Structure 1
Amino acid sequence: MRVLVVSDSHGDSISLRRAILAQPKAEVVIHLGDGEVEAQRLKASFPEKMFLQVRGNCDWGSELPVTGLWEFEGVKVFYTHGHAYGVKSGLYNAVCAAREQKAQVLLFGHTHRALTDYEEGLHIMNPGSLSGWQASYGTLDITSQGIVTNLIKLP
């Protein structure tokens, strides 16, 4: 299964649509916050895709949760925007939260800096920001052979 992972679209519906269209095999879209309005708007345009969302620090008045936990084929994915875990100062708190949930994958945004890493059984990915001149997103592939994270610059 392919998952499209996006964050920090900050009102840029066009870039979000481009990322979704660039990954037609993605069955799930996870938006990691700071883009609730455009994600909700585009959700109706792609009814065949499952959308999972959390709120970011710029999603004022949002009733979305701060964190999410999703499981597919025994793989637990913990996802958050990251501001509640201080990810701009380090990943320790977010990694601990993911490990408490017994997750194999941690997804976060907020920093606008793309990152993919693997640390003692935990795949870590920040897809970067969908807005701005260095826009990027990520893919998460969950298969019987394993887990693969990938970062992609939006053309």
Structure 2
Amino acid sequence: MAKPAKLIVVSDSHGNRDGLRAVLDAHRDADALIFLGDGLNDLTAVQRSGPCPMVYEVRGNCDYDKTIPSERLVSLGGLLIFMTHGNGYEVKVTTTPLRKAAAQRGADIVLFGHTHSPYYAYIDGVNLFNPGSISVPRVGRPTYGLLLIEDGEPEFLHREVPR
């Protein structure tokens, strides 16, 4: 039986380093931080400023470091997770291309950003999760996500960024 995993899921910081640090400080017990792009400079600065768990990051459309991949496929907690910012998959209009990409990769979970809106759906055997934006939400307060995995079962939570 695998140890339960607690993963912080963040996207679209767009300069909000204080918000990113507040999220990390609120979850010092997290196993990993998944950063879904548009703020890689913020991530680097926050990593230098204090404790940070293992990081899995992808590049967003506003990030320019081409050494960071735009997509990743990782196995965490016994589940295969496809990570992308989402801008290459028309996510502001539909999730169909993203779901197809996940199916082609055999992913159980797709994590994506770009829309600045929290989202969760379970469609055709794939969990799709967008944490929203920790900086510039389309509606409401800035948000992030938690992905809890226990015995291969995921739980997805949206949370407001601590003030």
Q: TM-score, normalised by structure 2?
A: 0.89
- SS of the aligned residue for 2:129 comes to strand
Name the structure 1 match of 2:157.
150
> Aligned pair count?
154
Q: Distance in 2 between matches of 1:46 and 1:149?
A: 24
RMSD across aligned C-alpha pairs, in angstroms? 1.4
* CA deviation after TM superposition for structure 1 residue 61, in Å: 4.2
Q: Distance in 2 between matches of 1:121 and 1:143?
A: 18
Name the structure 2 match of 1:130.
134
Q: Distance in 2 between matches of 1:61 and 1:106?
A: 22
Cα deviation 1:50-102 (Å, max 9, x = unaligned): 10111111113442111011102431010100001111121111111111111
Q: State the percentage of identical aligned residues.
A: 35
Amino acid at match of 2:15: G
- Extract unaligned runs of 5+ from structure 2: none
* CA deviation after TM superposition for structure 1 residue 11, in Å: 1.2
- Extract unaligned runs of 5+ from structure 1: none
Instruction: Identify which of 26, 42, 51 aligns with 2:55.
Output: 51
Amino acid at match of 1:22: A
Q: TM-score, normalised by structure 1?
A: 0.93
Name the structure 1 match of 2:8.
4
Check the 8 A contact 1:116/1:151 in 2, yes or no: no
Cα pair distance change 1:102/1:145, threshold 3 Å: closer
Name the structure 2 match of 1:17.
21
- SS of the aligned residue for 1:26 comes to coil
Check the 8 A contact 1:76/1:104 in 2, yes or no: yes
Give the 4+ runs in structure 1 shifted more than 4 A. Answer: none
Name the structure 2 match of 1:37.
41
* CA deviation after TM superposition for structure 1 residue 118, in Å: 1.1
Q: Distance in 1 between matches of 2:150 and 2:106?
A: 18
* Aligned residue runs from structure 1 range 39-118, under 5 A: 39-44=43-48, 45-47=50-52, 49-118=53-122
